[in-house]
Structure 1
Amino acid sequence: MQAPDAGDADCVADRTGDLEALRGAIRAFFADGYPQDLMARLRAGETLGREDNLRSQAALAARGWGAPHWPAAHGGPGWTIAERRLFEDEYVRAGAPTVVPMGLIYVAPIIIAFGTPEQQRRWLPDILHGRSFWAQGYSEPQAGSDLAALATRARRDGDDYIVNGHKTWTSLGFWADWIFCLVRTGDAARGGAGISFLCIEIASPGVTVRPITAIDGRHHLAEVIFDNVRVPAANLIGEEGQGWTYSKQLLSNERIWYAHIEEKRAALRRVRDLAAQQAATRDFRRRLAEAEIAVDCLDGFVERALLDDGANVASLIKILATETAQAITELELELAGNLAAPLLPDRGAGWAAALPDLPGFIVPAVEDYLMTRAQTIYGGTTEIQKTIIYRAAM
């Protein structure tokens, strides 16, 4: 999600009849036109792979709904904000896999806003139709929350850049065909000055991808190492030295995307149903109510971001979205109780297959709990977001 562009002047128009017709079309598509096996495997607790996610994106694009937030000129459906939010709600309701954001939501809007027509023709159709997978090359071993301390360097050599450096915590980096990176092209050793935005093909000689095992035993993170990687200068987005400016817009979009309103509402409904079966304590019910109120507040912030200036509330959204996600998964884990204790060091065929007698909600509850531990860290820590808010208020 991102703030509306100039083409969204009618974003608040009352089109209730159109919305209900769209709702019916979306539900019909997910009932008959979308790959049913993907949703069935998710319901069974299975983790989907690279080709599964690309197939999901291809199915959405074939229907014309592959990029709800893109302008129509680049393959988007030309929806109003109300239509986008309706689609997102129905998408979650259907049980389709969460969109992998790195290509579609993170880098594509930057290519649309700052890329050349040739770059747009080269990359956007493959992102839209699920023919390529992208990763984000931001964090480094010594530059996580302090992203401006990044040290990966790109030295101009004729028509190419020679890239050397080390990116880490790269989500799904081992699936990627391309990685968009912040690199130093200027003389400054620190700070945003002299940082450029460069797209690098993972198959390039000198690129090494090393999976990182996370706390849940899965390899959804990676290190990406660049050793004298030759990258065409034509892969530079926008102007050299202006990458920090572009990255701030991307991070604003990213932090708004974290909201996942309908996913949180669905999780809360699940928690409330489970709590009713277990005669939850008064304290548990209080914390559940607090989480529901927080999601309502989050929904209001997202609405403001989409209708006004997302950059002004993106940090608030990031804090509230990630802390609320942690609170919800803590409630789920509490309901799981002692049955959540056996944590396997290696998923193998999956926890669901290894522990078939567990109640169905426990495996995803444990996985979600472990995954959300990092949410207040990645994408800009809560402490960094509070600093951004403080500085904006000064």
Structure 2
Amino acid sequence: MLSVALALSARATAAPCGEGVWRGTLGKEAVSLEIDKALASGDTLAGRYYRGGSLDELVLTPLAGHPDAWQESDLRGRPTGVLRLTCADGRLAGVRTAAHGGGSDRLAAGAIERDAYGATRLAGLKLRITRLVVLDERGAWQEFTVPGARGLQGLRFLGDGPGVAALNEKLLKHFTDKLEEALWCRVLGFIDRGPDHNNYREDESKVMAYGDALVAISNHNEGACGGAHGGVGNSVRTWNLVTQAWEDVSKWLLPDWLTLASTGELDPEAGPAAEPRATVVGAPEQAEEQPVAPRGSALSRFLDTSGREEREECGDAVTVKFDGAHMWAQAEGLGVAPETRGDADRLCAVAFTIPYDLLWPYLTEAGRRHAADLIRSPRPDAHSPL
């Protein structure tokens, strides 16, 4: 819903009066204000604003019989004042009168870019650290939230280097985007159904593995913000600290790996299928040779049976794709998330992990190097928070 609203216009407009996004002052305090049809149903306008760096939104609805006036209330439904607006030369002006004789303040604001509505509060966002995890020499990270943002959790890594700095920038942008979505969703629910609405957004990121060059990060998100169905999503992405980019783990596999797996053939470097012995990859002191079934046939059987029950029950609602958008890397193997036609089919999409010992003959040299890095990585859950 937020992305749709942001795409409606690149810049605020002043017709009808007040429609758009504005920043200025209300009395002596900074204020950011949005009035838009996307906040209400049909052609009705509604608005919201916040003061200073607050996460608390005040909602504006048209005041019956007064075309220039807006009824202001908090998200509990309590009237907090009346705001009267006028427009001239691309500027917004007005007077806010507080409820119950609380005095009045003048409003003066100018139009700003639509996606800059939350910039003031995001610039002064105060993070509350909820967990600190320290690994060995690899580094440490913090899990955090912000007061008033129930259900949201972000990550910030500690340490030097451009790879860590670039990752933190990505993670903070993800968190602030989800925070703005959650605040928008709350306002939308209030305008649609009042204070007893059930709109919500949750988003939580966690560290799955932390290697020398790679970090695997999981994300769980869910919410309901209008529409017939809520949404639930789970994903894992792998960040490369060296290249400073998200890793496309499907490129760790040989181009024809699926064909080789289906025929039971092994990568020549791993030895012929008739010699069913292979090295279990791990830390040097853990490496040992042990007999295994021919890996090609074992991998093929694994792929055939993983999620079969759900796929057979759901039919063509589920598609398994082995590409960068549907795969990720973690300490145990490469994960795969099946694709579904829509939210209604999401229970059909059961993710599975292909163990590295089955994939090893079909990994590229770089893929083996990356896999070994993650296999050796300490498990974050084994480290107690400080």
Q: Please tell me whether Structure 1 or Structure 2 has the larger radius of gyration of its CA atoms.
A: 2
Normalising by structure 2, what TM-score? Answer: 0.29
Q: Greater RCO between the two (CA within 8 Å, min separation 6)? A: 1
Structure with the largest fraction of strand: 2
Normalising by structure 1, what TM-score? Answer: 0.28
